[in-house]
Amino acid sequence: AVFRLARSRDSQHVFLLIGWVIATVLGIVAAGRFYDHYYVAFLPVLALLVPLGLRAMREAGPFSRRAIAVVVALSIVPMLVANADIYLQPNAAARHTAKYPNDERSVWETQGDQMGAWLAARTSPDDYIYNLGFHSEIYFYADRKSPTRYLFDHPFRAGDRYIAEALDELNANPPLYIVDTASYEYPYTLGYQNIDIGRWINAYYDYLGRIYYADVYKLRPAIE
């Protein structure tokens, strides 16, 4: 359909859409990570290509409107059936966990507001908190600041100097609570307990236990 339309009077619009697709691909590749949600960026341009494809089918002929309707229905119905269990859930949290039924992290991702409320109730607006891991939404839900620019731990995998910089900033303004989600997030965690940042936590913080989806530590009174 695209090649047929490229030869039509609307070819400039088709080339614009093709360029859009290419730019989207480059944008995803440039990030260096291929998470599922990155591909949502394709939806606008693909949605615009659908009517162009239908028009190309009609012009290619001989296709009746009924035949085109059948093709469209066969394309849409399987998608609706496959996703019905998600969209029929009663709320956003249930819809999210239904998308990832075999991944317990999806449950954790719906508990961010509860974790944030727990921290907000035990801190003042001037207190710092720190998430060791990849759940930086905790800062938003708790309405508390991080003492370091490293809001999540991915940079730590790139080199020890980033851990050292984070430790300097944590030492300058020790957070009242540290929320360690990294221990449960990924099988390729760095094993923070055995490196400098883990030793720093053990030296200055008391372990409170697992709360929701994280190990939580509180700053010892001696250096509060």
| pLDDT tens digits, one per residue of 18-28 | 888 899 999 99
R_g of the chain computed on alpha carbons: 25
Cis check: omega of the bond before 62, within 30 degrees of 0: yes
Q: What is the pLDDT of residue 70?
A: 85
* DSSP tag of 42: G
How does residue 35 score in pLDDT terms, banded at 50, 70 and 90? confident
pLDDT in tens, 85-133: 888 999 888 888 888 888 888 888 889 999 999 999 999 999 999 999 8
Report d(CA 115, CA 184) in Å as an integer.
15
Share of the chain above pLDDT 90, in %: 41
For the ranges 43-52, 116-125, 159-168, 182-191, the one whose mean pLDDT is highest: 116-125
* DSSP tag of 69: H
Report d(CA 145, CA 183) in Å as an integer.
22
Element holding 208 (H helix, E strand): strand 205-211
Single out the residue of 222, 131, 112 nearest to residue 181, CA to CA: 131
117, 143 contact by CB (below 8 A) = no
Domain range summary for the chain, segments of one domain joined by +: 2-62, 106-223
